[in-house]
Structure 1
Amino acid sequence: MFRRRPVLPPFPPGALLVGGAVRDWLRGVTPHDFDWAVPDPAAAARELAARLGGAVFPLDEVRGYWRVKSPDATEHDFVPLPPDMNEDLLRRDFTVNALGLNAARELLDPTGGRADLRAGRLRMVSEANLRADPLRAWRAARFMVTLGFRLETGTEAAVRRVAADLASGTLLMPAAERVRDEVQTLLAAPEAARGLLTLEDLGLLALTLPELREGQGITQGGFHHLDVFEHGIEALHQLLARAPDAPLPLRWAALLHDVGKPRTLDRNPKTGRRTFYGHDKVGAALTTQMLTRLKLPGDEVRYAAQLVGAHMAQLPADDLSARRFAHRRRALLPDLLSVMLADREAARGKDSSPQGRYAYMLAMSRVLEALEEQPAAPAPLLTGEDVMALLSLRPGPRVGEVLRALAEARAMGEVQTPEAAPAWVRAWDAAHPAGGSQAQTLPAD
């Protein structure tokens, strides 16, 4: 577990390095964030910023909290040195974080954190500390997954009590933004799927993503060997097995792709088989609701929801259909294919076969080839004004409809030049008349 220790930055005068940076240093891992307790935070921060060429700014001038961001994105936080550092460390969450280190590399370890580090054990400083900030329950799950620690028995029981008291309202839920940060960090880990199961085991998933748990016990049959909940977890695992650097919105989409199934569950009266018609659209709406509740950025919420909403798209059977597929879903590719593949690879039911999986991969290859041939949408052949003039239309939905059809025709190779575009538009318009008042045709001159 312990490797050669990395080089630490110069210590400010009278400083103690505390918390996670000491933990990581003892483990032989280079810290990315440093917490310093110093006699003069403002002076220490300015001096380090000048040495590193970084930016310095106050986090809270009244309390003397300062931050330095170095050019390599490492953060250094500075706080006033407390009168009793042991007392300060005893207020921390876990023993492996209740550590201090001075410039002489002398360790301050009032709770036995170093021994817990060596044992790979995550132990609370006290249950009162966990209850003082219930977010620490989520942090326990994160450390179990990201650091590979096992939860000490008493600490596990305390985390479960915190989860139960949060569920009952005895304790107040932490701010959504803080829960989001813990869950996002867990989801970004290589073993994110195990992290979700850890949250479930500790009683924290019900407080975080209750909609995801609705799939527990809902069997699917056909291609599927797992229930809806387990299938989502396995799809996330399959995604990361093939794309370990997958961005967070893609991870969310793999996890939540079938979250709409419990609410669309029905049964075919003739065959008795369970059906989930429309679960992709319901799932997209639920994804938006869940990720918005967790305060994710709006663009990430929209993208994940779009992937969920499109994951049931029919893959093409030939090259022409592949070009159409790539054109219509270009904004989601290749990520959509990653979600679809994770979905398929997480299913090993009686209807699943090596031949079927091969055919699925072949269809995906056609889409990727089409995307390679045309990585960006071709430039428009006509403008909206051109279309309105050609078809005597007023501004309205019909103009956009014609432009989209023309763009797809160009992507398919049916029309290639601005000179050929007017004839194509007239022919398409005659073959696809607009319904009712949608055409909004101008009166003849």
Structure 2
Amino acid sequence: MNAYLVGGFVRDRLLDRPHNDRDWVVVGSTPEEMLARGFQQVGRDFPVFLHPRSKEEYALARGRNADGNLTVSPDISLEEDLARRDLTINAIAMNGAGQIIDPFGGRKDLEQRILRHLPSFGDDPLRILRLARLAAELNFSIAKQTKSLARQMAARGDLATLAPERIWQELQRALLTPSPRRFVEVLRELHALKEILPEVDALFGIPQPEKYHPEIDTGVHVLMALDRVTELTPDPLVRFAVLVHDLGKAVTPPEYWPSHRGHEALGVPLVDRVCRRLRIPEHYRKLARKTSRYHLMVHLAFDLKPATLTKLLDDLDAWRAPEDFERFLLACQSDAQGRKGLQGQPYPQADYLRRIHALTKDISARDVPGHISGKQIGKAIHQLRCRKIATFRRQYSPDDRPGQDDSGAAGC
């Protein structure tokens, strides 16, 4: 059996990057022979087999028949199989002796750090997203002809044929790259962002007050916030929340620009729309909704009264889901620091709320005096939290902040 390592494993090995998952292509064999050797079939239309011991994937070589359709046959050569792949750097194979087979110049493109398409690139529009994701993952440039082809595919509506699950899978992988910003930029350059994430694409060109956003353009701010969240955490949930946190600014009344009063609430249904359309998991949607709705309140945390702070943490479900509360704070910090010239500024609001959460998280019904039940217990717990926060605010004065009003406890 002639088996060759292919795809990302070979590419990453040549780049001296971590390369764990190994995929094989088998030349000159049949499904019957693979089964006879003890392999387990897991594909139907184009059979893929699991090795009986290593469980690594082995796919039979694929090529095109006289009608131009993909087919499997023992007569298909390794070069024919590699030719149907998306990019030259993914069309390199290696045999069991470690010898490299590179019929399309992939090694040269690796050396020059270029993503260049093969003739079959247009077979699957998802390859446009993969192109952007690899640009973000590898920090490679894209060949001029490849950009042109991707734009043509986007212009004729090819991306509209993609299943939502496939789009989300690629977007999720892009959020895990070293530069999600680059992924968004490349999609926009290829005219694909408006097809995949029109709500994000609409943010470019939307002005913001220069006093608070020296970068002015909302789309640029989102890219800068993505840069900051990438530095803060590898968590894709937080990175997605940052990507969609300001969607409401594209639908605020233009006559009031550059102000965007109420953009937080306006963004929530847009977040829901994105998540429904791409069938994004619910835990991503919940965090993104909270970030859209409440990020401005966190920026103003020092000015909020104890009752408002208590309600904020309650709305964020901070006491029952502290891990999501921490994710939320990281998203807010990324928004605040994702501004031109302000990337290194402190963000004490996050620590302020962390301390408030720590002081109030253990307050429960057992701390309520007397004999009450039902809704009264909830109100009593709310009062205890308010008082705890009020006491803390009287003692907390970061940098002797002006305008700290401790009388808010009366609002409890």
Q: What TM-score comes out, normalization by structure 2 length? A: 0.77
Q: What amino acid is aligned across from residue 76 of structure 1 in structure 2?
A: E
Q: Deviations over 1:107-149 (max 9, x none)?
A: 22221112211221211111xx122111111111111111122
Q: CA deviation at 1:20?
A: 1.6
* Correspondence 1:127-206 to 2 at 5 A: 129-166=120-157, 173-206=161-194
Comparing 310-319 with 330-339, which one deviates more in the overlay? 310-319
CA pair 338-25 structure 1, distance change in 2 beyond 3 A: same
Instruction: Give the equivalent residue in structure 1 for 2:239.
Output: 251
Instruction: Give the equivalent residue in structure 2 for 1:93.
Output: 86
Alignment gaps of 5+ in structure 2? 62-73, 389-410
Instruction: State the identity %.
Output: 26
For 1:44 and 1:120, the matched residues in 2 are separated by 40
What's the RMSD between the two structures over aligned residues? 3.3
- Is structure 2 residue 302 aligned with structure 1 residue 316? yes
SS of equivalent residue, structure 1 residue 370: helix
Q: Is the 8 A contact 1:260 1:279 kept in 2?
A: yes
Q: What amino acid is aligned across from residue 124 of structure 1 in structure 2?
A: H
- Is structure 2 residue 5 aligned with structure 1 residue 17? yes
Q: CA deviation at 1:183?
A: 1.7
Q: What amino acid is aligned across from residue 240 of structure 1 in structure 2?
A: T
Q: Is the 8 A contact 1:232 1:258 kept in 2?
A: yes
Instruction: Give the equivalent residue in structure 2 for 1:363.
Output: 349
CA pair 342-30 structure 1, distance change in 2 beyond 3 A: closer
For 2:343 and 2:13, the matched residues in 1 are separated by 49
Q: What TM-score comes out, normalization by structure 1 length? A: 0.72
For 2:311 and 2:238, the matched residues in 1 are separated by 19
Q: What amino acid is aligned across from residue 100 of structure 2 in structure 1?
A: L
- Is structure 2 residue 325 aligned with structure 1 residue 337? no
**1:77 pairs with 53, 57, 62, which one?**
57
Equivalent residues, number = 361
Q: Is the 8 A contact 2:208 2:260 kept in 1?
A: no
Instruction: Give the equivalent residue in structure 2 for 1:424.
Output: none
Q: Deviations over 1:382-417 (max 9, x none)?
A: 99xx756xxxxxxxxxx55x4432222333466xxx
**2:277 pairs with 271, 293, 296, which one?**
293
Q: Is the 8 A contact 2:38 2:52 kept in 1?
A: no
CA pair 174-75 structure 1, distance change in 2 beyond 3 A: farther
CA pair 148-275 structure 1, distance change in 2 beyond 3 A: closer
Instruction: Give the equivalent residue in structure 2 for 1:235.
Output: 225
For 2:107 and 2:281, the matched residues in 1 are separated by 38
CA pair 63-197 structure 1, distance change in 2 beyond 3 A: closer
**1:224 pairs with 213, 216, 237, which one?**
213
Alignment gaps of 5+ in structure 1? 1-12, 47-56, 389-398, 415-430, 433-445
- Is structure 2 residue 336 aligned with structure 1 residue 347? no
